[in-house]
Chains A and B, each alone.
Chain A
Amino acid sequence: MTRIIFFTFSFVICLGYQSFGQDDLMAEFEDFGTNVWLGSYNKFRLADKWFWRAEFHYRRGGYGDTPFIGRMSQIYNRHAINYFVNKNLNISLGAVVRLDFTGDPQDDQLEYVVPEPRIWHEYLFVMPWPRFQMFHRIRIEHRWSRRNDIDSEWIYRDRWRYKFYMTIPINKPQLVPGAWFINPDIEIIMQSGSPVVNSPLEDLRIYPSVGYIVSPSITYTAGLMYTTGQRLARGHVYRQRWVARINAYVSLDFRKQERKVPSIRTTD
């Protein structure tokens, strides 16, 4: 695990050094944008080790004169097959279709919505502690995207994502139903590909949140995320956003009943 983190940081620094080395422009930070992301994260247990992941995001945001979350931004539809290797490693492989909505619906030069397919795979490393859980997530996405401009070209990029987060119970000693928890979360998203010239750092997300475990099947979290990252074509320009996020985590067990219910002790 330590090696992976070291590798990732080395990679990011090298890319950054390279990009800054090629251009003498000064870094610029855009004004904060505002967004709200509503996410539904679902995991359906198909077998003892196999899950089906189905995640949806409904994202809105402000644009120009459009107020805070007045504009439809994106809809995510992410699916994957998830394999539970052991209690420390979890692997997923799947596809995403993201729908990007136009920033100016009045502009007829822009398509109202453009799909962005992706293939993604994820490696989640779990570090259990007596009182909390610590996670290292590496997700790699292979994405095909185009702008909303009519007749714009498809570009291909790879995304390299590393995320570190924790779940720390507040009101109970364990993460059990009824437990409130805090969820420190930080993720760095790097990108590569031919269109990426001097903007390898696509996004840096700092996302503290608070969660509540309703039941083993349902958990909610809410938090405010700060993100910043380089614009693809103008690497010296950094976008900044505040994103209010509300997520629901749902897990269902689709196995047969007898496999779900443990045997009962009825006698001494």
Chain B
Amino acid sequence: MVIRKILLLLLVITFAFNYTSIAQKEIITTEGKKEFMADEFNIKYDYYLSDGDTVFHGKYTLKKPVIETEESKYFEFLNFSGWYHKGKLDSIWEISSGIAKSVGEGVFSDYKYSFKVSGTEMLARVEFKEDSLIQNWNIFEWSIVESEIQDTLLVLSLKETSNEDELCIHVYKPGEYMDIYVNREGSPLGTWLYNSSLEDSIHIRKWFFEEGQLIKKEIIKSDTAVVIETLQEVEVDIDFEIEKLAMDNEYFRILDIIAMYNSPEGSRYITKERPSFELLKETKYRLLETDDLFFQLTGKDNYIDGFAKIKRYPYSKEEKSLLDRISKNKQEIEEKIDITIADPQISIAKLSTNEVLRFITLLSHLKEQTLMPINEILRHYDDGALEYIVRDTRILQKFELKEAVEIQIETEDGDELSPYVLEGFSYDKGSLSSLAIIHAYSQFIADKVSQIEDSLDYYISELKREENLVALESELIKKYENNKELCESIITDQINEVAGYDVQKVILGFLDGELSSYSKLENVDKKMEKVEPLIDCMSNIERLLYTIENVPENIQIVEDGYTRTVFNPYTFTNMDEKIKQPIYKAFHQNLLPYIFDQVKGMKCESVRAVDRNITNLFEGMVDLLKKDTKKLERRVRRMSDPQKIADLLEIKIDAN
């Protein structure tokens, strides 16, 4: 008590001394213009002269002139006001900034024309002493209606607590507030609190820090309280490094990820923390903004960026290798699945074939569900968060890798098919690291995808075969119908007369018989085996029909060829006479019937030969006209076997 009185006395003496010394100097108030922040501000300040130098002392104001444009009635304002003491910042300083517009009617009074304004104002108030900022910040934002404060939009205060090393930041916005504790270095302390009544219920979050690390989080919503441990318990010795991270979104994101790995069941709460992050983000922004404005005025940076400590667990070489291999597997799996699903044939096939639909559903499940843990791990690997996770214990804790998963299969119409059981993956937690198990898991999925693709290939190839068969059968029927029409239109009575039987009936019977035999085949394999030869057969029949169609004309050619016009010197008339008569007779009596007997008894395999024989017969007969056939004629006269006659005359006719 005595000491305090002595100190008070010394203070009074010092004040009196100073006052006396300053009072001896003349305080001058001056106004003018000042270039500031790329604008021209109105300045008004008090000062005195000391050895010819201007020393700020007293009130200091700096106001940005208001310029109202015609385009918009809104104008920005920015005012600084505070105090100097002997040239040093002192006492309370305020920055008022905002945007407003004039409203209502102007009033002329005391030779001034004034309007009321409406808008928003941010007022920052800090305290200096001896040019140094005392950590006592207050920032307000409110709305102004007709020059009256209407609503408070933001209250932010930063001040020392009873513990001098501890700073408390309190931020309030309508419906929510947050209390943040840091030490003078910016490291988090104690318990942070976020309270929100933005939604229907009270929503409270608490962050518990110890030695700069987040220990746990508590989420209270309505009557539910969830505690999420964020400090990872390490069962075995693992190398780690303590790392300082700026307390920004990235820090909290990493914390969230750690929390999710620590408490998978609490993950759903963590993902709803966005409002508290937004408030924290705005707090930092306001402090930085205010600090920046004072920096413009004083040239001093007073903001202390917060940081937190966090444990980082560097990857081993083996882990990096595993992660790279997992990434490669995942990429290959996704590419394969995407290509398969995008295959138009498969897209069509799944509509008609349940087995294809089953496999496509399975592939989709593998990509969207089964592959999800790997995706998440790799995402955290890529964004750096995985390095802060105790991977060996937390990964398998978060992702439960089931040995068997039942996948429901549903058709486009909503009918449920029998489910597919994805099984076959098992692992031994004791002998493998988590990442090795995840790698095995990725390999399992890759193998499964390959198996499914093989199965799909089989189904698609079967489907293609069936489609191909359908196309071929369509072609077969088309040719069959065409042949029938052709047969009915071009086989005339004249041909039947030459053949000695109803050629049309025989060929139509042949066509029907072949098609009937084909239709009785039992399975696709046998049909596939037969359909193409049968199509060839139909094509050959078509050619044969055209050949037969030409038979009368070809016979006429032979007739003409083997007929010469002879002048009869007794009747004095021209008369037709057959030449090479034995050959000509053999043609009519033996060879032509022989050929048409072949038509009657032909099979698919012999159609082409029969067709060729007919052509060869007529060509051979014409060729014989150019040859000396006297000897042949004598021998032919004694023969009756058509094949032997053909051989003798060198007409290539194959026996069927």
Contact = CB atoms under 8 A, between A and B. Distances in A.
Interface of A: 41, 43, 45, 51, 82, 84, 87, 90, 126, 128, 133, 135, 167, 174-177, 213, 215-217, 219, 249, 251, 253, 257, 260-262, 264-266, 268
14 contacts: A43-B570, A87-B572, A133-B572, A174-B573, A175-B571, A176-B576, A215-B575, A219-B570, A251-B568, A261-B579, A262-B564, A264-B561, A264-B622, A264-B625
B625 A249 contact: no
A50 B581 CA distance: 26
Identify the 9 closest CB pairs spanning chains A and B, nearest first. Answer: A216-B575, A216-B566, A264-B561, A43-B569, A175-B571, A216-B577, A249-B570, A266-B622, A126-B572
Contacts of B622: 264, 266
Contact of B568 (A175, A260, A261, A262): A175
B489 to A, nearest CB: 20
B567 to A, nearest CB: 8
Interface string B536-576: 00000000000000000100010011001111111111011
Nearest to B563: A262
Contacts of B564: 260-262
B572 A128 contact: yes
A128 B573 CA distance: 9
Nearest to B573: A175
Contacts, number: 70
Interface of B: 553, 557, 560-561, 564-573, 575-577, 579, 622, 625, 628
Contact of B557 (A43, A87, A249, A266): A266
Given A215-B577, A216-B566, A265 B571 contact: no
A217 B577 contact: yes
A235 B600 CA distance: 80
Contacts of B575: 175-177, 213, 215-216
Nearest to B568: A216
Contacts of B560: 264-265
Contacts of B553: 268
B625 A261 contact: yes
A141 to B, nearest CB: 20
Contacts of B573: 128, 133, 174-176
A265 B570 contact: no
A215 B567 CA distance: 11
Given A176-B575, A264-B622, A219 B568 contact: yes
Contacts of A213: 568, 571, 575
A215 B576 CA distance: 9
B571 A262 contact: no
A268 B628 CA distance: 25
Contacts of B577: 177, 215-217
Nearest to A260: B564
A123 to B, nearest CB: 14
Contact of B570 (A41, A177, A253, A262): A41
A133 to B, nearest CB: 6
A174 B574 CA distance: 10
A268 B554 CA distance: 10
Most chain B CB within 10 A, of A84, A87, A126, A264, is at A264
Contacts of A135: 572
A80 B6 CA distance: 187
A129 to B, nearest CB: 11
Contacts of B571: 133, 167, 175, 213, 219
Contacts of B570: 41, 43, 219, 249, 251
Given A176-B575, A216-B577, A251 B561 contact: no
A254 to B, nearest CB: 13
Contacts of B576: 176-177, 216
Contact of B566 (A84, A175, A217, A268): A217
Nearest to B566: A216
A87 B625 CA distance: 29
A228 to B, nearest CB: 27
A265 B557 contact: yes
B569 A51 contact: yes
Nearest to A266: B622
Contacts of B569: 43, 45, 51, 82, 84, 90, 251
A110 B575 CA distance: 49
Contacts of A174: 573
Nearest to B571: A175
A44 to B, nearest CB: 10
A164 B147 CA distance: 155
Nearest to B630: A257
A138 to B, nearest CB: 16
Nearest to A219: B570
Most chain A CB within 10 A, of B557, B571, B579, B625, is at B571
Nearest to A176: B575
Nearest to B574: A216
Contacts of A268: 553
Nearest to A215: B577
Contacts of B628: 257
A73 to B, nearest CB: 25
A128 B570 CA distance: 13
A45 B577 CA distance: 16
